Amino acid sequence: MPKVSVVTPDKAQAGQAPAGFSGLPGALAYFDDARSPLHLHLHRIAPGEALTIGPLATDCVAYVWRGALEAGGWALAPGSSLIVEHGQTLAVLGGEAPAELLTFHAAEPSDGQRAGGNVHLLPRERVPFRADMGGGSGVGGGMHADSSCPTSAVWLHENHFPGRDTPMTPEEEKRGVHSHSEDEIIFVTDGEIRLGARLYGPGTAVAIAADTLYSFTTGRKGLSFVNFRAGTPGDIRFASGATISETGYWRERAMTPEYITPR
C-alpha cells in the first residue's frame, strides 16, 4: 500500500458484497485489495432491507454515517456504531430512511488478536463526546472503540474541527506533522480535509500506513471524520520529536464507551 492513499466518492468501486457480508447484492469498496491491510466498504441500506455482518476472521467496526438503522432491538441514528467481533454475526436492518453504513476491519488476523465472539452496540446518545477536547481549540471528539474491550482491540474515534478562513501558515503546518504506530483509515463525514494543496469533501477516505509522517488542515466549512485502527494505538509521534500517548489522551478525558448487548 502507498504510504498515503486517497479515495474520493467517485473513485470508490461498486461491486459485489465483500466476503463475510450477506443480504445485499453489493457495496462500494474504498480499500479492499491485497495491498490494503485495512478494508473499508460503504453499504447502502434501504428501508426494509437487511445486511448481515459476519462471520469474519477479524473484528469489524461499523459506523452509521447517514440515515436510520436498527440492530439487536435498538435504533441506531446517524453517528451510532457497532462492533461485530470475529466469529460472530449481526443483522442490521434498514429503518425509515435510506441509510449508509461504513464497515472497517483488518484484512488479516493479527498475532495478538483477542478472543472475539461478541457484539457491541453504541447508539449515538451513548457515545462519549466532548464539544471541546481541551485548550479552547473548539476541536470536539467522540469515542466508539478504544481498544479496552477484553475480547477486541479495535479502535474508532471521531473528531470535529472548526473551519478556517485562511490556510495555516507553513509554521503551523510544520507543528502538526505527526505519525501513528498503526495503519489507519480516516473517513470524512462532513466538511473538508486539506491534504497538501487539495481539499477533499465528505465521502473521502484516506488510508495512511503506520509510521508515516503527515499532516492535514481544514477548509472553511470545518472538518468531521472518523478514524479507524485495527489494534491498540501507541504514541502519536510529532516530527519535532514530541510524543503523546493516544490512548492516554482519550482516557484522561473519560472517553471510554459503555456498550449495549443486542437483545
Per-residue pLDDT of the chain (263 residues; tens, 9 = 90+): 689 999 999 999 999 999 999 999 999 999 999 999 999 999 999 999 999 999 999 999 999 999 999 999 999 999 999 999 999 999 999 999 999 999 999 999 999 999 999 999 999 999 999 999 998 889 999 999 999 999 999 999 999 999 988 777 778 778 889 999 999 999 999 999 999 889 999 999 999 999 999 999 998 999 999 999 999 999 999 999 999 999 999 999 999 999 999 98
CA distance 25 to 182: 32
Residues 137 and 181 in one domain: yes
Looking at the structure, tell me whether residues 163 and 75 fall in a common domain. Answer: no
* 222 contacts 162 by C-beta, under 8 angstroms: yes
Q: Is residue 257 part of a domain?
A: no
Residue 125 one-letter amino acid:
E
Looking at the structure, tell me whether residues 35 and 58 fall in a common domain: yes
Total number of domains in the chain? 2
Q: Are residues 136 and 246 in the same domain?
A: yes
Same domain, 85 and 37: yes
Boundary of a domain, candidates 125, 143, 165: 125
pTM of the full structure: 0.97
Range of the domain at 161: 129-251
Do residues 145 and 201 share a domain?
yes
Looking at the structure, tell me whether residues 120 and 141 fall in a common domain.
no
Q: Are residues 35 and 91 in the same domain?
A: yes
> What is the total residue count of the chain?
263
| Burial (0-12, 13-18, 19+ Cβ within 10 Å), 153 | buried
Cell of 199: 481539499
Indicate whether 57 belongs to any domain. Answer: yes
CATH number for 202: 2.60.120.10
Within this chain, do residues 116 and 144 fall inside the same structural domain, yes or no?
Answer: no
The domain boundary residue, chosen from 80, 98, 125: 125
Same domain, 115 and 143: no
Instruction: Let me know whether 51 and 109 are in one domain.
Output: yes
